Each structure stands twice: as structure tokens, then as C-alpha cells.
């Protein structure tokens, strides 16, 4: 499956690699900060003689079936998700209008953001 297909797939897919998860997290963070990211598919080396020769060792090694490197339990992602949700909550709370929940805001004026708000 190509990287572009992985990036558009379900984020809770059990076969999603940590690297793809991290890339999706960065893309989401960039999207939240109103940055436009375009990913483009570039065709392979088919039909270009020199590139086909360079790819031939890769093609033969791609037929080897390797066991998965690691299977991570979802509990490994709990701290990341907790931090991300806390950051979402902090952004929401800190950007509320001054008159909204004024009594509670006098007790808890802002939600602190620990370290950073990226899923890393």
C-alpha cells in the first residue's frame, strides 16, 4: 500500500505503523494552524531504463516476506492522546469570550499547556 493510501486511511487501523501515525499527527497539527499541505503521487521508474536497472535489486528483495517489526499495544498511545486532548481543551478554554463562564474562569483563568501540543 502506498504512503498516500496509508495517510488517507482510518487512523485507528491496527496495522498503522508508528511512522505513519506520526506523519498523520504532524499533518493534522499543520492543518489546525491553517497551513495547506499538498501531497502528490509521482509515478515510478517504469519505462526509464537506468531507473529500472536501479530498481531491480529492490524488486527482488520486495518478494521476501519479513515478519512485522513490532506490534504496539494501544496503551502506548494513551499518553499521546491524553496530551493532545488536553491541548485541544486548553486551546478551546483559553479562546472563549471573556464573558463566557466568568465565575469559573475567575477560579481557573487558563488551562496550562504542558511542553507542546503536537502528537509526537
Q: Judge if 56 and 13 occupy the same domain.
A: yes
- How many domains does the chain fold into? 2
Please indicate, yes or no, whether residues 113 and 95 belong to a single structural domain of this protein.
yes
Q: What is the pTM of this model?
A: 0.35
Taking only the tens of pLDDT, the chain with its 120 residues reads 466 776 776 666 656 677 777 777 888 888 888 887 777 766 665 666 666 666 665 555 555 565 565 566 777 778 878 888 888 888 888 888 878 887 877 887 777 765 555 554
Note whether 77 and 59 are same-domain residues.
no
> Does residue 67 share a domain with residue 23?
yes
Alpha helices for the chain (secondary structure H): 3-7, 18-32, 49-61, 78-94, 102-107
Domain end among 54, 72, 90: 72
Range of the domain at 95: 73-119
Amino acid at each position: 500500500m502506498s504512503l498516500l493510501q496509508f495517510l488517507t486511511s482510518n487512523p485507528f487501523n491496527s496495522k498503522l505503523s508508528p511512522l505513519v501515525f506520526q506523519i498523520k499527527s504532524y499533518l493534522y497539527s499543520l492543518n489546525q494552524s491553517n497551513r495547506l499541505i499538498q501531497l502528490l503521487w509521482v509515478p515510478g521508474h517504469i519505462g526509464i531504463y537506468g531507473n529500472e536497472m536501479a530498481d531491480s535489486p529492490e524488486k527482488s528483495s520486495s518478494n521476501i516476506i519479513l515478519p512485522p517489526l513490532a506490534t504496539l499495544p494501544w496503551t502506548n498511545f494513551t499518553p499521546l492522546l491524553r496530551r493532545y486532548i488536553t491541548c485541544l481543551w486548553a486551546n478551546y478554554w483559553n479562546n472563549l469570550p471573556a464573558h463566557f463562564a466568568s465565575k469559573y474562569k475567575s477560579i481557573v483563568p487558563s488551562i496550562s499547556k504542558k511542553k507542546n501540543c503536537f502528537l509526537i
